[in-house]
A and B are shown apart, each in its own frame.
Chain A
Amino acid sequence: MRAGHWVRRNLFSTPFNSALTLLILYGLYLALPPLINWAIINADWIGASREDCTSGGACWVFIGMRLNQFLYGFYPAEEQWRVNLGFSLLALLLVPLTIKGFRHKRPLALALVLGYPAIAYLLFHGGVPGLPLVQTHQWGGLMLTLVLAVVGIVLALPFGVLLALGRRSKMPIIRAGCITYIEIWRGVPLITVLFMASVMLPLFFPGEVTVDKLLRAMIGIVLFQSAYMAEVVRGGLQAIPKGQYEAAEALGLGYWRSMRLVILPQALRLVIPGIVNTFIALFKDTTLVLIIGLFDLLGIIQQAFTDPNWLGYAVEGYVFAALVYWIFCFGMSRYSQTLEQELNRGTSR
């Protein structure tokens, strides 16, 4: 009896464990059936208004009716193909990067960091022949969340690399400058950075320059995130054996060439899991922009159930939002764990 053996070993090994198992089973018996009843069995799935929610369970009709807004914000319906195209392009660029054994990762990564943002901006914002202008205050929902997260990571990465190099530089003034920058941004909450970006940034620019609200939030996020990124990259730089630096020097490579050709490729490879983790943190942190009045996914859901037509469906809204964020974050954390294992396999003999 294999199963019996397993149960005895893992659930009833000692009297204490047996009691614990029974207690947990009782707790699950109390909690799970009502939950499943509410979320699935008694839930309303089809309909067009709150009158269709009659069975007492969750009202998923609300999510269904508002789904378009949750995904695109107030982006005009006839232009939404642009958003779809933009993110499909991103996925298309990202997929080969995650495939093991794909040869041309470096040019692809460069295209992603340098070329993609410009194309995406033109697509989403428009204002060029053939693409009508869609102003940033119409952006919202999951689309805005993704835009903020992708812009945050793509811009924070190069700044983070520079800051990390500066922090490990032998030049004392540059080192002190980078350390100060990193410690200041890491020591304050993102909210205060966003407040700063939204109320102080306009004061920093010459009077006639107006900075878009979304752009201000992005600047705040990038300033903040690059400090975290710098620390991740520093970890990678520290992990490179001294011999590598010396070997690069012995080949006659100058500082920038030895960094570009020898050190950074190895260091960045080492910290990919750390970068993914920073990205997860950033992805969750994008929700804070709702405090300065941008409608990201959470913001637009929050707004949806204060609509008099849908008052009282807060739980459904939060469950849906939680599910979306959870799928993204859990997926990425699993990916970073696989990467970590793969990298370990490569380096351990």
Chain B
Amino acid sequence: MKPQPAADKTSSRQLPTWLGWLSRSGQRPSHWLNWRDPQVRALVFQALFVVGVGALLADIVANTLANMESRGISTGFGFLSSEAGFGILQTLIPYSETSSFGRTFVVGLLNTLLVSVLGIALATLLGFVIGIARLSTNWLLARLASVYIEVFRNIPLLLQIFFWYFAVLQALPSPRDSLSLGEAVFLNLRGLYLPRPLPEAGFDWVMAALALGILASIALRVWSRRRQARTGQLFPLLPAALGLIVGLPTLVFVLAGAPLGWELPVLRGFNFRGGITMIPELAALLLALSIYTAAFIAEIVRAGIQSVDGGQTEAAEALGLRHGQILRLIVIPQALRVIIPPLTSQYLNLLKNSSLATAIGYPDLVNVFAGTTLNQTGQAVEVIAMTMAVYLTISLLISLFMNWYNARSALNAR
């Protein structure tokens, strides 16, 4: 055998180890000047990439700084503590015109989160109902569900928001002639008015009972899982949990003498006072977001349920499981594996689409911060960067959580 050439080890042009990580194959390049060596080429390409991107970014930064200086735009985040000087239609936390831009940011963020959370809940509910209806054996119902899907999926969301806001909600009667439901719920062109619950003394006990019920249900679930693993016996978990979470607080509520009052909205002058108000901007946005997203969720649910092999149902039937059990124990867990990843993207889409709020003036993050605040301060770079960072962070957090959940429930193939 010929001795191995020792050039690599003794060469004066020997390369450091960390280059191996940067080169394509994980091996160290043999020679700096050998252009045919793929590792060398990988290093050169990456060096060019870094220089190119770096030069582009440096150019952009230099231009931006020069432009801002020539236009007299200040830099930095100092503006966040100065007075905003404008009002906001709906705030979840105390806010006035003397509040700072920093507070404006938080108000907008909370409004974005409010509409996203409500929208996700509504869209999931509606989407599951329609997805299941699409698979119904009732021909009429299945057809109706697919018409719903095809109609709402293929019309731009912004158009739907405009439609609900400008065409439907603006056509509602004035406060004086509101549509009402039992003198407690009122709907007019200023918004939807609901009674506000007022907890009285003793209501704390009801909340405590609710918390206890939830904790007991979790403990019960753990116990019943263990027992099933040990003995194979199923425990009627759902009725027991319902009894604990709904029954127990109700019992305490009755025993404590119904310690809950209601503040009803009342017409005073030109508008309603009291109660909970849902401004029309929120109502329109919520309607459009949930109806639009539900059409996509319905298709995801349908695909998920159809992906479960019919043989699974037959096998479960052969084992003597009842219809409800088959659905709960066999079909849904398997369908969820297919459903959850695309469902996550839909949740993210809904969150991002909530930014269309700005088109009808619902005070979400984009509207009050990237809109009004930017116009007042002119600090485009900081404002846009903060807005984008918020969405990016929430998006990444949701995907992280859903990926974790997905990995936990994924099929363990052997």
Q: Could you list which residues of chain A lie within 8 angstroms of chain B, going by C-beta atoms?
A: 10-11, 13, 17, 20-21, 24-25, 170-174, 177, 183-184, 186-192, 195-196, 199-200, 202-207, 280, 284-285, 287-288, 290-291, 298, 302, 314-315, 318, 321-322, 325-326, 329-330, 333
Contacts and interface: CB of A to CB of B under 8 A. Distances in A.
A326 B384 contact: no
The 7 closest A-B pairs by CB, nearest first: A10-B139, A329-B154, A189-B352, A187-B395, A189-B355, A284-B156, A187-B392
B387 interface: yes
Main secondary structure of the interface of A (DSSP, over half): helix
A199 B374 contact: yes
Given A318-B162, A318-B163, A192 B366 contact: yes
11 contacts: A11-B138, A183-B392, A184-B388, A192-B370, A192-B391, A195-B387, A200-B384, A207-B67, A290-B158, A326-B151, A329-B153
Interface in B351-393: 352-353, 355-356, 358-359, 366, 370, 374, 380-381, 384, 387-388, 391-392
Contacts of B162: 298, 302, 318
Contacts, number: 155
Interface of B: 21-25, 42, 45-46, 49-50, 53, 60, 63-64, 66-68, 70, 136-141, 144, 150-151, 153-159, 162-163, 166-167, 170, 348, 352-353, 355-356, 358-359, 366, 370, 374, 380-381, 384, 387-388, 391-392, 395-396
B137 A10 contact: yes
Given A173-B46, A189-B366, A325-B155, 17 more contacts: A10-B139, A13-B138, A17-B137, A21-B140, A171-B42, A172-B22, A177-B49, A188-B391, A189-B355, A191-B355, A199-B384, A200-B384, A202-B67, A280-B154, A287-B159, A291-B359, A315-B163
A10 B139 CA distance: 5
A325 B292 CA distance: 14
Nearest to B389: A188
Contacts of B395: 186-188
Nearest to A255: B38
Contacts of A188: 352, 388, 391-392, 395
A205 B63 contact: yes
Given A11-B140, A187-B395, A203 B64 contact: yes
Contacts of A17: 137-138
A322 to B, nearest CB: 5
Contacts of B153: 329, 333
Contacts of B67: 202-203, 207
A187 B397 CA distance: 10
A195 B139 contact: no
A119 B317 CA distance: 65
A41 B384 CA distance: 50
Contacts of B356: 191, 288
